[in-house]
């Protein structure tokens, strides 16, 4: 797969790059960012994936996430893909911010007209890892994943489905049970159809209820988040983990909201937490 360099900038001794390629899985051009910390020639780097939230692209965390200093300190590559397919031929719901472009929910859609392009699960789990492994000095046996909001849902569900691929999972303000909240019911119903049993593999709480396990999960959630009670429902994750005998670290951060002011405050702690597990 041909990779096009859109930009590269020196930062904290490493390089922040933005790249594009044609995705066979998605069927469109896709853009993503990669931060490579300073490293020796021939050295390979562990990887932290970051999945963005509703309405976002790779650019939000790349420009506002404040992760580079921590990644440089710990020697971790940071990869941020887009949230959904883009392009004129991609179907969209233009007047709905929480569905369509910018709201791919990291699923492989099965319903028309979404099924051709909305295949973010396969893109994140298979195609993009193969692409970056072929083009960057990465050690793909050492990967972790994090994300925000809709991307927190993606990080939790992808990480839980692939515990052998991801040593640790973290999330900022994640949608922990999309099958039980308006954002998720809307997206999963229209992308996957009315059979709610097919939704469970995209729902962290349901995955845990169905027997999926992971020993290393960290969640930060702001108490002043306007979406907490109706859309995020962090307490459901706590309850599911307790019933399953799992012991995640779930921190309610007093006074923080849903924004990148919140994410950037705790990003370095997440990078350091993942670093401990990536270097073990």
Active site residue 122: no
- Name the catalytic one among 21, 153, 216, 258: 258
Dist CA 87 CA 117 (whole Å)? 10
263 to 42, 174, 195, 201, 216: CA distances (angstroms): 33, 12, 34, 26, 19
Write the Ramachandran bin of 96: left for phi over 0, alpha for psi from -120 to 50, otherwise beta.
beta
Compute the CA torsion angle 224, 228, 233, 239 (nearest 10 deg).
0
Out of 23, 84, 149, 157, which one is annotated catalytic?
Answer: 149
Active site residue 203: no
Taking CA atoms, 99 is separated from 57, 91, 102, 185, 222, in Å, by 14, 10, 7, 11, 24
Residue 268 structure tokens: 């370095």
Active-site annotation holder among 33, 225, 270, 274: 225
Q: What is the DSSP letter of 148?
A: B
Our answer to whether residue 170 is catalytic in this structure is no
Known catalytic residues? 149, 225, 258
């Amino acid at each position: 797969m041909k990779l096009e360099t859109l930009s590269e900038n020196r930062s904290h001794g490493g390089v922040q790059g933005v790249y594009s390629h044609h995705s066979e899985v998605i069927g469109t051009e896709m853009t993503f960012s990669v931060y490579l910390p300073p490293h020796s020639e021939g050295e390979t780097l562990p990887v932290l994936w970051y999945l963005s939230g509703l309405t976002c692209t790779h650019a939000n965390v790349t420009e506002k996430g404040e992760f580079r200093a921590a990644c440089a300190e710990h020697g971790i590559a940071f990869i941020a893909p887009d949230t959904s397919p883009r392009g004129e031929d991609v179907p969209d719901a233009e007047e709905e911010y929480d569905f369509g472009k910018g709201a791919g929910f990291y699923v492989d859609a099965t319903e028309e007209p979404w099924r051709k392009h909305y295949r973010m699960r396969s893109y994140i789990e298979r195609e993009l890892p193969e692409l970056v492994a072929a083009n960057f000095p990465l050690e793909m046996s050492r990967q972790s994943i994090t994300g925000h909001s809709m991307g927190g849902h993606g990080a939790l569900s992808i990480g839980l489905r692939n515990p052998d691929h991801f040593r640790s999972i973290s999330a900022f303000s994640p949608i922990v049970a999309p099958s039980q909240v308006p954002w998720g019911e809307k997206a999963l119903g229209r992308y996957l159809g009315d059979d709610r049993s097919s939704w469970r593999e995209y729902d962290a709480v349901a995955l845990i209820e169905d027997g999926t396990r992971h020993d290393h999960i960290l969640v930060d959630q702001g108490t002043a988040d306007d979406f907490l009670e109706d859309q995020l429902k962090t307490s459901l994750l706590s309850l599911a983990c307790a019933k399953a005998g799992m012991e995640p670290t779930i921190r309610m951060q007093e006074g923080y909201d849903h924004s990148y002011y919140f994410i950037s405050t705790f990003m370095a702690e997440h990078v350091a937490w993942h670093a401990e597990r990536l270097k073990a």
